[in-house]
Amino acid sequence: MTRYLITGAAGFIGFHLASRLLQDGHEVVGFDGMTTYYDVRLKEARVDLLRQHPRFQLVVGMLEDRDALAAAADLAKPDVIVHLAAQAGVRYSIEAPRAYIDSNLVGSWNVLDIAKAVGCKHLMMASTSSVYGANETMPFRELDRADEPLSLYAATKKAMEAMAFSQSHLFGLPMTMFRFFTVYGPWGRPDMALFKFTDAILHDRPIDVYGQGQMARDFTFVEDLVEAIVRLADIVPNEANRVEGVDTLSKVAPFRVVNIAGGSPTPLMDYVGTLEDALGQKAQINLMGMQPGDVQRTFADASLLRALTGYAPDTTVQTGVAAFVRWYHEYHR
């Protein structure tokens, strides 16, 4: 049994990770601000399910509140901290930039500081494929430069990575930084494309498809993402598990960056077509231009993840979208 502290436990990914860890017999303390960025009732429904496990406890507080976060850490006495909480969304970072500074910079600093104080064995932090920004080399490799973020959201995540590296170097705290690629699935966020498209199609509203429908994404099913995180939790960065040729393990810190994705981009219009098949209903499509801060295509190199864990996400878009649609109908019945 391992003791985990998960920030963002009421969120989409945090909920799935906490559920898996509890099913595997671990203890989980969740920390979440229960913010109103999207419908809090969805977060509450996730938490209600987690509370059915006797080894789960939730502390409600904001990342910026160091005392609240420290109280959660005192309760958890964590072996592993998984930092998933963040202000998400590329487009919202243009509308409400301060929320990203407070959560993704100040809040992430508090996580780093507390992880050092409690001496956890492994700190795992969620970054994003958005940090690759204007990089045109495909597929995105962790060793590629990621110095041209196209949104404040991406910039705050890249800054978090840099802060984390410095702390890992200075204090020897083992850290794994994982970069997510367009995660989707049951219990997903209402601001994400799959949820918005499903709701619009079922209510006979048109959907806005940006980039004139020419975009592509390396979609990652949430259960695959969780499987990768669970496997990486046991692989604490050190020289004994260095992978020659593709590893990002630093020579001056127990710090590693890992892409989590299958390395198989799907054109956005194919994604929409898969959703239409799952719903049995055609979409009314508005083709739109590119939005500020967005990128045309994401495509991960998953070589490092495979080398470390023997695994990479492999759920097909057809299977994953169908699972989301089943959940959506059940949740909204």
Residue 94 is predicted with a pLDDT of 86
Closest CA to 260 of 216, 322, 309: 309
CA dist 275 and 278 (Å) reads 5
Q: Report yes or no on 328 lying in a domain.
A: no
Q: Which residue range(s) make up the domain with 39?
A: 3-183+219-263+299-314
134-143 mean pLDDT: 92
Condensed to tens digits (0 to 9), the pLDDT of residues 211-269 reads 888 999 999 999 999 999 999 999 999 999 999 999 999 999 999 999 999 999 999 99
Query: Is residue 331 annotated as part of the catalytic site, yes or no?
Result: no
Q: What is the DSSP letter of 216?
A: E
In a domain, 275, yes or no: no
**What is residue 291's predicted lDDT score, i.e. its pLDDT?**
83
**114 within a domain of the structure (yes/no):** yes
Mean pLDDT in residue range 51-63: 97
- Three-state DSSP class for residue 191: coil
- For the chain, the average pLDDT equals 95
pLDDT average, residue stretch 131-155: 92
Q: Is residue 333 part of a domain?
A: no
3-state class (DSSP) for residue 222: helix
Give a yes or no: residue 172 inside a domain. yes
Name the DSSP class of 297: B
Structure confidence at residue 88 (pLDDT): 86
Q: What are phi and psi of 202, to 5 degrees?
A: -70, -20
Is 279 part of a structural domain of the chain? no
| Residue 286 is assigned to a structural domain of this protein | no
Residue whose C-alpha is closest to residue 268's, from 193, 215, 195: 215
Any domain includes 247: yes
Question: How many domains is the chain built from?
Answer: 1
CATH number at residue 32: 3.40.50.720
State the distance between the two ends of the chain, measured CA to CA, in whole angstroms: 37
Q: What share of the chain is helix, strand, coil (3-state, %, to 5)?
A: 45, 15, 40
* pLDDT 10s digits, 162-209: 999 999 999 999 999 999 999 999 999 999 999 999 999 999 999 999
Burial class (CB within 10 angstroms; exposed 0-12, middle 13-18, buried 19+) of 41? exposed
- Per-residue pLDDT tens for 74-106? 999 999 999 999 988 888 888 889 999 999 999
Whether 107 has a pLDDT exceeding 90, the answer reads: yes
Considering the candidates 37, 153, 184, 271, report the single residue annotated as catalytic.
153
